Structure 1
Amino acid sequence: MDFAFDARTEELRAKLLAFMDEYVYPAEAVAHEQRERLDSPWETVPVVEELKAEARRQGLWNLFLPDSEYGAGLTNLQYAPLAEIMGRSPQLAPTVTNCAAPDTGNMEVLTQFGDEQQRKQWLEPLLAGEIRSAFAMTEPDVASSDATNITTLIERDGDEYVITGRKWYISGAMHPDCKIFIVMGKTDPGGEDIRRQQSMVLVPRDTPGVTIKRAMQVFGYEDHYHGGHAEVIFDQVRVPVSNLVGEEGGGFAIAQARLGPGRIHHCMRLIGMAERAIELMCRRAVSRTAFGKALAQQGVVHNWIADARVTVEQLRLLVLKTAWLMDTVGNRGAHTEIQSIKIATPRAVVDILDRAIQLHGAGGVSQDFPLAELYAGARTLMIADGPDEVHQRSLARRELKQYL
């Protein structure tokens, strides 16, 4: 395995690092100030649109999409260091480069499974950053860690599907530019194969019967940049049968195809979050004095910083190995590694962020530093895209299988 960056990756890294220094980091405070003056917290702040235009001008756009017809055509191994850089400012950088979830996963679904009309109507404006989207799978009334539990019904009625169900934590749904939902529900609830009961359909947000009931908070944060998270009601919602994504019964497989890249993208960005935390820890340690000496001279601070550096280097190697395997043997061949990084990365980064918060004292939990918001995002990823325990269960079964 050779993890040296190739020429194209080095070129994009240099451009992205410069873009972050010149535009993104200075815009973080500006974005917060502008948001306080908006009529609605869900509106896009002006600086985000300015950064999107600059990112497009510099060619730092749709870097996540490996399909060269629609995106940058990068491999997972090429994209990994770029996602890490964007993870240092996870609220702004992925959004302004059009590399933010849930749009990334939805664009991948439409690229792989959408038909020509669906790609023209929805994929093209998503690629252009003209609209946003949401992915509606999680439900409040069932354990959604087991996707076969979902109860939303997608029933055929002539040339239409009728959708009835309740979803929550639907990321992106609060954004005023969110125009399309990819909804997962059951078209064959009594089917013998529980993994063939589900399908996915495209539901325009303005379809009668679609109700955005409320915004869901995450540790008190509303995640405005990503369009928030909403509880959504689908009450006898009718869409044409042509809105089916792929085939009936293919929803579970499509979800797995969507979540594979999503999990590794999250882990890449988490490493960037950890790097930002280490930087903030070091700056704080050399600038503050307690009990007669700088925090940087305190032994416990040395331990926190050293342990964080070791952890990040370990995680990065595992994530790069996973990216390389996904490129060479596919997602199925990298299944063990994908689950390993999904378990290890959020857990470790949460611990690093916790130490960084502790080092900052009251400032660490305030809005004056990004640490509290980074912590909320990292802690959520121990649940999102499958909770740790589900991945541990699957990984352990695979390990035990060879001994049974």
Structure 2
Amino acid sequence: MWRGIVAGCFALGLSAGGAWAQQCGGSFDQFVQDLRAEAAQRGYDRATIDGFFQHADFDQRTLDADRRQGVFTLPFTEFSRRLISQNRIDNGRRNAERHSAIFDEVERRFGVSRGILLSFWAFETDYGAFQGDFNTLDSLVTLAHDCRRPELFRPEVFAALELFARGDFDPVNTQGAWAGEIGMVQMLPEDIVTHAIDGDGDGRISLQTSAADALLSGANILSSLGWRAGEPWLVEITIPDDLDWYETGIHSAKPVSAWEADGVRARNGTLPMPNAAASVILPEGRFGPAFLAYPNFSVLFEWNQSFTYVLTAAYFATRLDGAPVFDARNPEPGLSRDEMQALQRKLEARGHDVGGTTGILGARTRAAVRAEQRKLGLPADAWPTRALLNAL
């Protein structure tokens, strides 16, 4: 569970004790010394600090993985086809049956669908089969030292220190994903500190070996973020050709009944909760696949901030619950990564905050595209095309 796909940077700030301290960059050894000093200011004793930080090391492989996220530049149809296989569907259904008692408990306590948890379990670790081979402490300290998102990763270092002080973290042997997530559903240390649950009742929380611990902990996080028990999250729809495209998108919502009045229909069955506020999602524009997103869909962005990843996970959850393969339709070709970066530079020049020229079509880039399409008299469906790039 990584909440930080959006980059950020700051150079200096106040430490917990009020003194100026290096917050990122510079000498790595000095940076670790500053972390040690802050740990002492937070009240940890010398033995705990030494035991935790003495093996901390810079990990270039972590930074390489952070920079190498080209998969997020793929359009939804291609991305989802890469992540969703019949094998993953079959394994998901087998795990749903094998752990049915756990999922019953999840639904009783938190109201989180088993399809959602199975989806993240599948995408994060292939149902626990591969949980990562990065030393968690090295990854966290390296990313805290790096000046892209220190405000995200520095607190995670101290959360891992708290777990170590409790006897629940081995700084030498704990391994996980490159961004510091641990266990079957990949939880960051802060979330483990605040939301982890002993699901199997053995007196320990083992997110790497206990499906009950991992799944109940993941559900607890989603519940704390505002998951609405028993409500849908995503429904595939058909849309009319004359829909007001500017009203579509994740940041625009209106009652389901109003969408129905505009000609929006469920592709299969009927649209649930006619009074709920929902958004029409067109991941590849007005000629591509179409979905209606309910409030629970927005909660999933706290798990991962990639629009394409979240949509794919949400859709896969509906597949595990019995929905058919989505209709890809015939979308206009999208932009290459270089073209997307060129577009983002043009949008920034026009005053839009797109989150940097990453080449990734995120929510802020979509909002800027939608606004510029409207100005230019183009269908404002938030799908960037070469026609838009040329027009700008």
- TM-score normalised to structure 1 length: 0.28
Considering Cα pairs closer than 8 Å and 6+ residues apart, tell me whether 1 or 2 has the greater RCO.
2
- TM-score normalised to structure 2 length: 0.29
